Structure 1
Amino acid sequence: MHDAQIGGRRAARREIATPVPRTPTRTRTPRRSLAAAAVLSVLGMLAGVALVPPPQAGDALPFAAADAPHLGDVQKLDVAADVSVPAVSHESYVATTGEKTLVAGGTNVDWAKLVLVEGGWPLTEENITFMMRWMRQENGPDNWWNRNNPLNNGQGSGGGSGLGSYPTLIEAAYYAAENLQSGRYPAVDAALARGDSADATAQAIWASAWASSHYGYGTHWSSRPYEVVEAPPSAWGR
Structure 2
Amino acid sequence: MASGRRPSRRSTTRPRFARRFAAIFATTAVFGVAATLAIAPSAPPDAIAIAQAKEAADALLQHVAVAGEVRVPAVSRESYVAATGPETLIAGGTNHDWAELVLVDGEFPVTDENVNVILRWMRQENGVDNWWNRNNPLNNGNGSGGGSGLGSYDTLVTGAYYAADSLRRYSFYDGIEAALEAGDDANATAAAIWASPWAGSHYGNGTHWSTRPVEAIEAPAAAWGR
Counterpart residue number, 1:171: 158
Whichever of the two has the greater Rg, that structure is 1
1:230 to 2:209 alignment? no
Following the alignment from structure 1 to structure 2, what is the Cα–Cα distance between the partners of residues 89 and 218? 34
Which of these residues, 145, 149, 157, is aligned with residue 136 of structure 2? Answer: 149
Aligned CA RMSD, in angstroms, stands at 2.2
Q: Which amino acid aligns with 1:225?
A: P
Counterpart residue number, 1:186: 174
Q: Which amino acid aligns with 2:199?
A: A
Cα 1:184/1:94, change in 2 over 3 Å: same
C-alpha deviation, 1:232, in angstroms: 0.2
Following the alignment from structure 1 to structure 2, what is the Cα–Cα distance between the partners of residues 185 and 134? 14
C-alpha deviation, 1:184, in angstroms: 2.2
Percent of matched pairs sharing the same residue: 66
C-alpha deviation, 1:96, in angstroms: 3.7
Could you state the TM-score of these two structures normalised by the residue count of structure 1? 0.61
Mapping of 1:58-137 within 5 angstroms? 96-137=83-124
Following the alignment from structure 1 to structure 2, what is the Cα–Cα distance between the partners of residues 152 and 164? 7
Q: Which amino acid aligns with 2:208?
A: H
Following the alignment from structure 2 to structure 1, what is the Cα–Cα distance between the partners of residues 75 and 124? 39
Q: Which amino acid aligns with 1:197?
A: D
C-alpha deviation, 1:211, in angstroms: 2.2
Cα 1:162/1:94, change in 2 over 3 Å: closer
C-alpha deviation, 1:209, in angstroms: 2.5
Higher helix share: 2
Following the alignment from structure 1 to structure 2, what is the Cα–Cα distance between the partners of residues 134 and 205? 9
Q: Which amino acid aligns with 2:197?
A: A
Mapping of 1:19-58 within 5 angstroms? none
Which secondary structure does the structure 2 equivalent of 1:212 belong to?
coil
Which secondary structure does the structure 2 equivalent of 1:185 belong to?
helix
Could you state the TM-score of these two structures normalised by the residue count of structure 2? 0.64
C-alpha deviation, 1:160, in angstroms: 1.9
Cα 1:231/1:201, change in 2 over 3 Å: same
Counterpart residue number, 1:5: none
Which secondary structure does the structure 1 equivalent of 2:161 belong to?
helix
Counterpart residue number, 2:13: none
Which of these residues, 186, 203, 214, is aligned with residue 215 of structure 1? Answer: 203
Which secondary structure does the structure 2 equivalent of 1:181 belong to?
helix
Q: Aligned residue pairs: how many?
A: 154
Following the alignment from structure 2 to structure 1, what is the Cα–Cα distance between the partners of residues 214 and 82? 24
C-alpha deviation, 1:161, in angstroms: 0.9
C-alpha deviation, 1:89, in angstroms: 8.0
Moved over 6 A (4+): 86-94
Counterpart residue number, 1:80: none
